[in-house]
Chain A
Amino acid sequence: MLVNEKVAIEHGLKSDEYKKICKLLKRTPNITELGIFSAMWNEHCSYKSSRIHLKKLHTKGKKVIQGPGENAGVIDIEDGDAIVFKIESHNHPSFIEPYQGAATGVGGIMRDVFTMGARPIANLNSIHFGSPQHKKTKNLLRGVVHGIGGYGNCMGVPTIAGQTSFDSSYNGNILVNAMTLGLVKKDKIFYSKAAGLNKPVIYVGSKTGRDGIHGASMASASFDEKIEEKKPTVQVGDPFTEKLLLEACLELMSGDSIIAIQDMGAAGLTSSSIEMASKGNLGIEINLNKVPCRETKMTPYEIMLSESQERMLIVLESGKEEIAKKIFDKWNLDFAVIGKTTNTKNIELFFDNKQVANIPVNTLVENSPMYDRKWKKSKLPKKNKIDKTKLRNLKIKDTLRKILSSPNVCSKEWIWQQYDHTVMGDTIQKPGGDSGVVRVHKTDKAIAATVDSSATYCWAHPLTGGKQVVCETWRNLISVGAKPIAVTNCLNFGSPEKEENMGEFVECVQGISEACKYLDYPVVSGNVSFYNQTKDIGIKPTPAIGGVGLIKDYNKMITMDFKEIDNIVLVIGKTEGHIDQSLLSRIILNEKNGPPPEVNLFNEKNNGLTLLNLIEKNFIKSAHDVSLGGIITAIIKMCIKGNKGIQIKKPKFLINEIEYFFAEDQGRYLIEINPKDFKEVTKILDKNSVHYDEIGKIIDKDMIIDQKTKLTIDELKSYNTNWFKGYMV
């Protein structure tokens, strides 16, 4: 096939990008080479619109062993142990084919983690759908949940936490972000940097088929009405093969055969071979006739661009081929020596004894395009004047019912019961809490993990929203008694070619960076997903943050369920009554505008660390962070989980009751303490200048707000659980 500018544009390249390729090569590329360029230079693989801004992220810290740039980030959890983790998007494929899209998203992120030598110990996910009334939502939700479960359950890795939201901005573009944590010994981490000349390059895992060709390019474009035609670009997953691949790789990794290893994810054999060569500053030579193929007559172009799943590329020590082959034979996986490392610094491909591609590696990586796109700064919206009489006239009971049964607050048990969350026998906090917690096998340590996003806040003011999401995950970790260590981010945005969307991206990143820096909570891995838009309509900016923390003694883990009658409940952190962008404002007052709650990083850090100190001293019986739906929603969740009630002490505040209960001010937690510890606890809070209110006392089975307002826990529970069951019938 003849290559010209038109063919290049059909490959998703821009006209000037094509010219740049010809200039770099000093000739016209052939079709295989063009395919390789298009795969490496698309947004998904090259980060061409985001790179310049991602550099600003805070990525350093004492606990960071590996920051962004590898298959996943790595943090130190002491005693020679390390946690490898990352979050990744699989948005576009999941919208086209929800089951396979979500399943291969989970498969891909697990491969990223075990590529580094770590055994996956927990999965999480952040999934976002259009309005529940939209005709596609129900099927997409069902398909995505089945896909996530289908893959993760089969792998035998527990899915311990997640987040689900509904918003009409996702009607044409759902989000599926999958996160995996793995455990590895600090001195047994594997990297993707090739080293040494004439070392054998090995292909292992599934055979290569025609599935997923141009998957990464598809993920780098907006959707239009021809979306259904893109179904063949969605990969098909086989978790069984991945389970075998996991066991085989870990078995090989226990020896000393591997120099470098890289999974074949987006852009398959192309990106994996080029990344290994690029990092090692080497060349690589591949004989494509040696690649195990599922179908006959596959062309070099197809072999290089296939995104068939469950494959790995390994650079072995010379002479270790037999040892390695034996292991992969045992697990019934394909094993083939397909090439070697060279000193040419080029990627050279051969097929039927002919050279079919020869490209300098640096033209694909270092010389890939980088754009400083135009972006628009967002102004902080003006506060709404809230009609106080309207607020005063709201009936607490009705308001609560509406909030608790709203799709974004209600219990997500329907979802997480379909995920195996207990396999591996170390899950000590299941989904439905503030963070999922797994023990570090056979130790007293435990790892807490959470994933969060707040699209509404980010949409209202990206800078504040970016900070807020980081803080929310920080609070989720503190609430279970974990010391937050680091985060991974999945940055889901609309088209970077639109100034508003690019502005949302830039300012969210800035917010994330500021918060991470202040909290000493660095970003160690992540991924960017642009072009989440159909025609001209983009999603609300949705950076999803996955936070990871350490609990040194798992016996000190905290859960949110109320524990004992007569215990006292305090609110930590000050309630100013911020209603704009709250759930109350959006679903009860029907007000969409206004600024998100302000994030005060000093308070956030101070309140969080003080609470950790109280937990360390064994004063805290239960804890829960205050987020969507405010104090009252948080209290009710604690009541429901603990099957206990509360006698609420009427707050003596200037702001009215509704504002106090439903405001979404940041930096707040609810804690349960024993009355005998009250003095000691409040002394510590005072000493650290942490504001607190006494909100109530735990009683049996009822929530009593005042003499007129009394609700049974069963009633509240039914509000909270019925929506989902009714919706998914």
Chain B
Amino acid sequence: MKSSVITFPGSNCDRDMDVALTKFGFKNKMVWHNDQELPKSDLIVLPGGFSYGDYLRCGSMASKSKIMNSVINFAKSGGLVMGICNGFQILVEAGLVPGVLLRNKYLQFICKNVHVKVDNKENTFFKNLDKKVLEFHIAHNEGNYFCTNNQLKEIEDNNQIAIYYCDQNGNTNDQINPNGSIKNIAGIFNKEKNVLGMMPHPERMIDESLSGEDGSIFFKNLLNNIK
């Protein structure tokens, strides 16, 4: 399976994502933001980081870079696109997934392990996943997901919420919500569910010696689903 990770100026999880994808069997290519064309890929990843230094708004300048035209076309033709953290912010700014990401509720960067509940398995990203609750890792300053009531209704009607912040037993409540996101939303799909944006970093959970192994479960499952 072939994947591509886009490097924007200021991306800083591009290498980590490359390491993770390669570890689980993807043939990964790094793609420069100024390129026009994507290599043939089964999966495109927009990695975390601080593209363009978060100037203007997180992700907004990267969403206008040259390669994004191809990414948008790829997504519209049904190709799998995943945006992690800053990648999620770019997806939002590019209009590929609905909503916006505001500054965290307590106005602080947060770096810690979190649990997320996977509710929706009718999609390539989470299909066949055995676990309902995964332990992932977050590291962000602007992960507070927000949308209008109308949008929220549409999102819920279309079953577009991918993952929710929850406790280790899968309960979602305000106490466990790390950043103030509406409905504890940690990740969201587009309508067709071929585009996934999420704040947590699965690529930081791929090894027992790191924070944990639930990222490994996610990537292995994803690879099997694409095959």
Q: Is the CB of A420 within 8 A of B9?
A: no
* A243, B13: Cα distance in complex, Å: 12
On whether the beta carbons of B50 and A418 are closer than 8 Å, the reply is no
B210 touches A423 (CB 8 A): no
Contacting residues, chain B, for A154 (C-beta < 8 A) = 10, 12, 50, 53-54
Contacts of A417 in B (CB 8 A): 108-112
The answer to whether B53 and A425 have CB atoms under 8 Å apart is no
Q: Is the CB of B10 within 8 A of A428?
A: no
Given A419-B111, A428-B210, A240:B50 Cβ within 8 A: yes
Least CB separation from B51: chain A residue: A240
Interface residue tally for chain A (C-beta within 8 Å):
31
B19 at the interface (CB under 8 A from A): yes
Name the contact of A156 in the complex, choosing from B9, B49, B204, B207 (C-beta under 8 A): B49
- Is B60 part of the binding interface, using a Cβ–Cβ cutoff of 8 Å? no
Decide yes or no whether A613 CB sits under 8 A from chain B.
Answer: no
Question: Is A240 within 8 A of B10, CB to CB?
Answer: yes
Residues of the A chain whose Cβ atoms lie less than 8 Å from the Cβ of B210? 422, 425-428
> Which residues of chain A are near B137, meaning CB under 8 Å?
422
Is B146 positioned at the interface, with any CB of A under 8 Å from its CB? no
Nearest Cβ in chain B — how far from A236, in angstroms? 13
A428 to B210 alpha-carbon distance, docked (Å): 5
Specify which chain B residues have a CB less than 8 angstroms from the CB of A156 in the assembled complex.
12-13, 49-50
What residues of chain A lie closer than 8 Å to B110, measured between beta carbons? Answer: 417-418
Q: Which of chain A's residues has its CB closest to B113's CB?
A: A422
Q: How far is the CB of B139 from chain A (nearest CB, A)?
A: 5
Please determine whether A332 and B16 come into contact, CB atoms closer than 8 angstroms.
no
Q: Is A420 in contact with B203, judged by CB distance below 8 angstroms?
A: no
Asked whether, in the complex, the Cβ of A418 is within 8 Å of the Cβ of B109, the reply is yes
Q: Which of B175-214 contact A (CB under 8 A)?
A: 201, 203-204, 206-207, 209-211
Query: CB < 8 Å: which of B9, B10, B204 contacts A425?
Result: B204
Is the Cβ of A244 less than 8 Å from the Cβ of B16? no
| Beta-carbon nearest neighbor of A424 in chain B | B16
The answer to whether B9 and A439 touch across the interface, beta carbons within 8 angstroms, is no
Report chain A residues within 8 Å CB of B112: 417
State the CA gap A422–B15 with chains docked (Å). Answer: 13
A149 near B: Cβ within 8 Å? Answer: yes
Q: A154-B50, A156-B49, A239-B53 are in contact. Are A421 and B206 (CB under 8 A)?
A: no
The reply to whether the CB of A46 lies closer than 8 angstroms to some CB of chain B is: no
Q: With a CB–CB cut-off of 8 A, which chain A residues contact B49?
A: 156
**Residues of A545-563 whose CB lies within 8 A of B:** 554-555
| Contact between chains at A243 and B50 (CB < 8 Å) | yes
Chain A, residues 236-255, CB within 8 Å of chain B (1/0): the string is 00111101100000000000
Identity of the chain B residue whose Cβ is nearest the Cβ of A431 in the assembled complex:
B111
Summarize A's interface: helix, strand, loop or mixed. mixed
B108: chain A residues within 8 A (beta carbon)? 146, 417-418
**A120-157 near B? 1/0 per residue, CB < 8 Å:** 00000000000000000000000000100110011110
| A331 interfacial contact with B, CB 8 Å | yes
- Asked whether B24 is an interface residue with its Cβ less than 8 Å from the other chain, the reply is no
Cross-chain contact A418 with B10 (CB below 8 angstroms): no
Bound: A156/B201 CA distance, A: 14
Given A154-B53, A424-B15, A554 and B209 touching (CB < 8 A)? Answer: yes
Which residues on the B side are within 8 Å of A422 (C-beta)?
111, 137, 139, 201, 204, 210-211
- A92–B178 Cα distance when bound, in Å, is 34
Tell me the minimal C-beta distance from A418 to chain B in angstroms: 5
B interface residues, how many (CB within 8 angstroms): 31
Cβ of B54 to closest chain A Cβ, rounded Å = 8
**The one of B9, B19, B20 that contacts A331, using a Cβ cutoff of 8 Å:** B9
Contacts of A239 in B (CB 8 A): 50, 53
| Contact indicator per residue, chain A 37-57, by CB within 8 Å of chain B (1) or not (0) | 000000000000000000000
Residues A414-459 near B (CB distance < 8 A):
416-428, 439
* A240-B52 contact given A418-B111, A427-B210, A554-B209, CB 8 Å threshold: yes
Query: Which residues of A have CB within 8 Å of B54?
Result: 154, 240
Tell whether, in the assembled complex, residue A425 and residue B19 are in contact, meaning their CB atoms are under 8 Å apart. yes
Find out whether the CB atom of A428 lies under 8 angstroms from the CB atom of B209: yes
Closest CB-CB distance, A284 to chain B, in whole Å?
31
How distant is the Cα of A439 from the Cα of B15 in the complex, in angstroms? 15
- In the bound complex, what is the Cα–Cα distance between A421 and B53 (angstroms)? 19
Docked pose: A655 CA to B214 CA in angstroms: 50
Whether the pair A425, B109 counts as a contact (CB closer than 8 A) is: no
Q: Do residues B12 and A240 form an inter-chain contact, with CB atoms below 8 A?
A: no
> Closest approach, in angstroms, between the C-beta of A547 and any C-beta of chain B?
22
How near does chain A come to B90, taking the closest CB pair, in angstroms? 15
B12, B53, B207, B209: the one contacting A423 at CB < 8 Å is B12
A439 to B206, CA, bound (A): 14
Closest A residue to B178 by CB, please name it.
A417
**Hey, which chain B residues are within 8 Å of A241, CB to CB?**
53
Which A residues are CB-close (under 8 A) to B19? Answer: 425
Chain B residues contacting A238 (CB-CB under 8 Å) are 53
A156 to B53, CA, bound (A): 11
B110-139 CB contact bits vs A (8 Å, 1 = yes)? 111000000000000000000000000101
Q: Which of A258-295 contact B (CB under 8 A)?
A: none
Bound-complex Cα distance A155 to B15 (A):
13
Q: Please determine whether A243 and B109 come into contact, CB atoms closer than 8 angstroms.
A: no
Q: Is the CB of A149 within 8 A of B109?
A: yes
* Contact indicator per residue, chain A 400-423, by CB within 8 Å of chain B (1) or not (0): 000000000000000011111111
The one of A153, A428, A555 in contact with B139, judged by C-beta atoms closer than 8 angstroms, is A153
CB distance B50 to A425 under 8 Å? no
Q: Nearest chain B CB to A419's CB is how many angstroms away?
A: 6
By a CB distance below 8 angstroms, the chain B residues around A425 are: 15-16, 19-20, 203-204, 206-207, 210
CB pair A420–B111 under 8 Å, yes or no, is yes
Tell me the complex Cα distance, A578–B154, Å. Answer: 68
Cα–Cα distance between A241 and B9 once the two chains are bound (Å): 9
Q: Pick the contact of B55 from A149, A240, A555 — CB < 8 Å?
A: A240
Q: How far is the CA of A554 from the CA of B20 in the complex (A)?
A: 19
Chain A residues with Cβ below 8 Å from B141 are 153
List of A residues within 8 angstroms of B9 by Cβ: 240, 243-244, 331-332
**Shortest beta-carbon distance, B36 to chain A, in Å?**
16
Cα–Cα, bound, A418→B110 (Å): 5
CB contacts (< 8 Å) of B12 on chain A: these are: 154-156, 243, 423
CB pair A439 B204 closer than 8 Å: no
List B residues 32-62 near A (Cβ within 8 Å): 48-50, 52-55
Alpha-carbon distance between A146 and B104 when the two chains are bound, in angstroms: 14
Which single residue of chain A is at the shortest CB-CB distance from B48? A423
> A residues bordering B, Cβ < 8 Å?
146, 149-150, 153-156, 238-241, 243-244, 331-332, 416-428, 439, 554-555
Which 9 pairs, one residue from A and one from B, show the smallest C-beta to C-beta distance?
A156-B12, A240-B53, A425-B16, A154-B50, A420-B139, A418-B109, A428-B209, A422-B204, A420-B111
9 contacts across the A-B interface (CB closer than 8 A): A153-B139, A156-B12, A240-B52, A243-B9, A331-B9, A419-B109, A422-B139, A425-B204, A427-B210
Q: A156-B49, A240-B55 are in contact. List 8 more A-B contacts (CB 8 A).
A: A153-B139, A154-B54, A240-B9, A241-B53, A418-B108, A425-B20, A425-B210, A427-B210
